[in-house]
Chains A and B, each alone.
Chain A
């Protein structure tokens, strides 16, 4: 297969850069917004592990201990359903925002965009703006060039390593981790994941950049399915701009039969994915709005009104009214609301206690003479509360059922205890398999109580 399977939309594009994209620095409303988003999001990411809550790391997905701490809340592996629900809610929210505002996520919040922004910022600070970088790349390897390139690499690698460190800091307590790294005592796997994430950051934000959005990102490929004619997109006003062309300052464009577009190609030069927005909506567009800023600056200079390139919708471009409430948004809102309600409800009903009833695997049952038939179980009690509890276990089932275990079971806060339990049922009621119900209740708080069913096995009837 050839690399460029000549699709029709590429036809006639004079400015398509076939080589590396060198985005030009851009200033304006959206650039400020994007930089602000970058500082807030990166600040939250790098600062997150250092937050404390009750003398404990506020956000810690403690994988070695199999417990997730999120501020005051402790989640156990058994609470996986909340994580799943949360991820589904986030996905549907993404659909919802995409339907209304297009690829806002891509342009402002996606880690790929945010880190690319940070890496390009370093690049611009060291190597200069677009023209200087193109020149530098073409220039022979002089000492000055090596110095610049090396300095850039050092900055990039440092940022990438710090990113890897912060990432791992969400999974291994960050303060001890920092100490371990400083004294070279961190475990192999910790170091491995740190380097792995650092390498991914370096590769994605330093080198692959827009290729990730164009070829690798699944969201970019199916976001079109969430779009409709009322979705906010970045668009070039064809009617106003065409026919495009250069003109002398102060000359009457209308008399020359020209539109507002002066064909300065600034919108193409600032584009991080290297497309020409004037060809209409393209899947490569990550809606970063850099072209809006660039075009507005030029429009101000030539004295035309801003907004030749702007956020708009397909219907608005056809001079029709904008509809926020429409079947698509209603359906997304309904699904989102349902999911959130079920999340809140299940969180509210969440019990700080889990009981697992595990049958003794060695013997199905044992005949213990006059007392009847005996089954043995292990009861695993998970106290998810951060305080200690004393529990009482009881059992119900066939007539005459009896339970032998500790009267009071003590389980420390946030820990697991396993107690052996023996259940006996008189001979006459023990045949076959009867359903029995274990009930575990906290002595200090009767609301903390769980019921688990199991089976009592006896000899089969002949």
Chain B
């Protein structure tokens, strides 16, 4: 593996890892207060057959959430325009 990661590799590695941590923390907080089986009953999700399945689905749902939010942020944050100074002056 190359010693220097490209900007994009860095982006996706950081994005995935940080959102993983955030999702882990919020999964912990969420399920500390809410029993997954309660959610399963309330929403009628029969395919979730155990608490462990509930935890896992909850975690991946939160991870996906934070990942998409982070990814959109990365895409949408604008950098300062760089270019020849003359262009900036004329515009």
Q: Which residues of A contact B (CB under 8 A)?
A: 1-4, 17-21, 63-64, 66, 77, 80, 83, 172, 187, 189-190, 192-193, 207-208, 211-212, 214-216, 218, 274
Identify A218's interface contact among B1, B21, B33, B52, CB under 8 A.
B21
A-B contact pairs, 17 of them (CB 8 A): A3-B2, A4-B4, A18-B4, A19-B3, A20-B2, A63-B52, A64-B52, A77-B35, A80-B29, A80-B32, A80-B33, A172-B52, A189-B52, A189-B53, A211-B5, A212-B17, A274-B3
B68 lies within 8 A of chain A by Cβ: no
- How far apart are the CA atoms of A4 and B7 in the complex, in Å? 9
- How far apart are the CA atoms of A212 and B56 in the complex, in Å? 25
B65 lies within 8 A of chain A by Cβ: no
Residues of B in contact (CB 8 Å), total 25
Q: Which residues from A are CB-within-8-Å of B33?
A: 77, 80
Closest Cβ of chain A to B53, distance in Å, is 6
- How far apart are the CA atoms of A77 and B28 in the complex, in Å? 10
B45 lies within 8 A of chain A by Cβ: no
- How far apart are the CA atoms of A218 and B25 in the complex, in Å? 15
Q: Which residues from B are CB-within-8-Å of A218?
A: 18, 21
Interface Cβ pair total, 8 Å cutoff? 65
Pairwise interchain contact A189-B50, C-beta atoms closer than 8 A = yes
Bitwise interface map of B from 1 to 38 toward A, beta carbon under 8 Å scored 1, else 0: 11111110010011001100100000011011101000
Closest Cβ of chain B to A273, distance in Å, is 9
Pairwise interchain contact B13-A187, C-beta atoms closer than 8 A = no
Q: Which residues from B are CB-within-8-Å of A187?
A: 50, 52
Q: Which residues from A are CB-within-8-Å of B21?
A: 218
Given A77-B32, A215-B10, A216-B14, A3–B4 Cβ distance below 8 Å?
yes
Q: Which residues from A are CB-within-8-Å of B35?
A: 66, 77
Pairwise interchain contact B2-A19, C-beta atoms closer than 8 A = yes
Q: Shortest 5 CB-CB distances between A and B: which pairs?
A: A80-B32, A1-B7, A189-B52, A216-B17, A3-B6
Q: Which residues from B are CB-within-8-Å of A19?
A: 2-3
Counting chain A CB atoms within 10 Å of each CB, the highest count among B1, B3, B31 belongs to B3
Q: Which of B33-91 contact A (CB under 8 A)?
A: 33, 35, 50-53, 55-56
Pairwise interchain contact A63-B51, C-beta atoms closer than 8 A = yes
Pairwise interchain contact A190-B4, C-beta atoms closer than 8 A = no
